[in-house]
Chain A
Amino acid sequence: MEIAVYLAFILMLSIFLGFELINKVPATLHTPLMSGSNAISGITLVGALTSAGAEHSGLATILGTIAVAMATINVIGGYMVTDRMLAMFKKKGSAK
């Protein structure tokens, strides 16, 4: 139970931080920001890795490995797509 309290403490601080991090984003950055934070939510890959590799039972391993593949697509695709969007954005700015 102690660990749950400690984790809840972390949760509270990061939620407040998340609220404060984002303010006054220009409209052109809405989609890249959404895409970039979507890639961060692929952090569930770390959770998938621990359940895929540990020798619990067949089911946990199978589910974990599928989750690894899904989360990897989310992470790699998410960061690449965000970078592509932001690269175009920059070019437009320098051309003007």
Chain B
Amino acid sequence: MNTTLIIGISYVISAGLFIAGLKLLGSAATARKGNILSAAAMLIAVLATLLDQHIIDYRYIAINMAAGSVIGLIIARRVAMTAMPEMVALFNGLGGLASLLVGVAAIEIGINAFIGFTIFLSILIGGVTFTGSLIAWGKLSERIAGRPIMFKGQAIVNSLTIIMMLVSCFVFSASPENTTYLYIVIALALAFGVLAVIPIGGADMPVVISLLNSYSGLAACAAGFAISNNLLIVAGSLVGASGIILTQIMCKAMNRSLSNVLLSGFSAVKNSTL
């Protein structure tokens, strides 16, 4: 058997375990087992990927994986139970940043307009997830003010950012190798994550984190398209889709709609001026 086949089969097993794990996580009696199943799926996926013949240099990978594991372990052990949501936000932000970096690195692999577009998506969603999660973490841990942060002309700034993003989508997808466009896209994505989360109050942060968690799945999914990796697409879109459902469930539990949460800052200002 050649290694490509082994990797392929391992990915199929891994995808199945992720699906089973996510299903079990949804009910109290089986949740812990579900988490262990999905961790096993991740282990299989990583080990299989390391067999990839295209991977030539293992030194930096080993160092970085060891460092990442130690840091993750220490943080996870030390964090107080009450600080869990903000911890999830921080981890989530790192995942988003990783997807952004994978997207940028994919520019070297080979480019056409379709891959350019998927790279754009992974940078955009990854960047929004990164800075958005950092702001959510800051608000929950009270490193920045928990109240909605508003400034004059905020709606205009947001609209302009979105328009610039749409324009840069076309320009970047057409020529992803142009580094100036690349920097602009990265800057826009990072700025938009901040802009989207600062007008939301600290009490709504769990819903925001759940939504950003869904985004980080979508970012991984987009990165999967950029490097043609089917496991990234399966796992990423599973998280993306189930994350949106979970966000809706959480909103319903708070008796609010999602748009109500996302635009809460703006309505608060409107109400106060009335």
Once the chains are docked, how many angstroms separate the CA of A45 from the CA of B43? 11
Q: Answer whether A19 and B245 are a contact pair too, CB < 8 Å, given A46-B232, A54-B56, A68-B65.
A: yes
Grouping DSSP codes into helix (H, G, I), strand (E, B) and loop, the B interface class, with mixed when no group exceeds half, is helix
Q: Whole-angstrom distance from the CB of A35 to the nearest CB of chain B?
A: 5
Q: Are A47 and B242 in contact (CB under 8 A)?
A: no
Chain B residues, Cβ within 8 Å of A72: 64-65, 67-69, 72
Chain A residues, Cβ within 8 Å of B241: 14-19, 21
| Per-position 1/0 for A49-75, Cβ under 8 A of B | 111111111011101111111111111
In this assembly, does B173 line the interface, its C-beta being within 8 Å of a C-beta of chain A? Answer: no
Number of interface residues, chain A, beta carbon within 8 A: 81
Chain B residues, Cβ within 8 Å of A95: none
Once the chains are docked, how many angstroms separate the CA of A52 from the CA of B108? 12
Q: Are A59 and B73 in contact (CB under 8 A)?
A: no
Q: Are A48 and B88 in contact (CB under 8 A)?
A: no
Q: Are A41 and B220 in contact (CB under 8 A)?
A: yes
Interface size range of chain B in the complex: 35 or more
Once the chains are docked, how many angstroms separate the CA of A26 from the CA of B27? 7
Chain B residues, Cβ within 8 Å of A34: 85, 88, 206, 209-210, 213, 243, 246
Chain A residues, Cβ within 8 Å of B249: 22, 25, 30
Chain B residues, Cβ within 8 Å of A24: 26
Q: Are B19 and A17 in contact (CB under 8 A)?
A: yes
Q: Answer whether A90 and B22 are a contact pair too, CB < 8 Å, given A44-B220, A59-B108, A77-B72.
A: no
In this assembly, does B91 line the interface, its C-beta being within 8 Å of a C-beta of chain A? Answer: yes
Once the chains are docked, how many angstroms separate the CA of A28 from the CA of B84? 13
Once the chains are docked, how many angstroms separate the CA of A15 from the CA of B243? 11
Chain A residues, Cβ within 8 Å of B81: 84-85, 88
- The stretch from B31-39, B156-164, B259-267 touching chain A is B31-39
Partner of A70, one of B61, B68, B239: B68
Tell which of A47, A86, A87 has the most Cβ of chain B within 10 Å: A47
Q: Are B73 and A38 in contact (CB under 8 A)?
A: no
Q: Are A7 and B233 in contact (CB under 8 A)?
A: yes
Q: Are B253 and A41 in contact (CB under 8 A)?
A: no
Once the chains are docked, how many angstroms separate the CA of A46 from the CA of B91? 16
Once the chains are docked, how many angstroms separate the CA of A75 from the CA of B108? 26
The interface of chain A, by Cβ under 8 A from chain B, is 1, 3-4, 7, 10-11, 14-19, 21-57, 59-61, 63-90, 93
Pairs A–B under 8 Å by Cβ, sample size 26: A16-B241, A18-B22, A21-B241, A30-B246, A31-B84, A34-B210, A37-B238, A38-B95, A40-B235, A41-B217, A43-B235, A44-B99, A45-B98, A46-B232, A50-B227, A50-B229, A54-B56, A54-B109, A60-B109, A68-B61, A68-B68, A72-B69, A73-B72, A80-B76, A83-B32, A85-B84
Q: 8 other contacts beyond A71-B95, A74-B92, with CB at 8 A cut-off?
A: A17-B241, A18-B22, A35-B84, A35-B88, A41-B92, A44-B102, A60-B106, A79-B39
The interface of chain B, by Cβ under 8 A from chain A, is 18-19, 21-23, 25-28, 31-32, 34-36, 38-39, 41-42, 45-46, 49-50, 52, 54-58, 60-61, 64-65, 67-69, 71-73, 75-77, 79, 81, 84-85, 87-88, 91-92, 94-95, 97-99, 101-102, 104-109, 114, 206, 209-210, 213, 216-217, 219-221, 223-225, 227-246, 249-250, 253
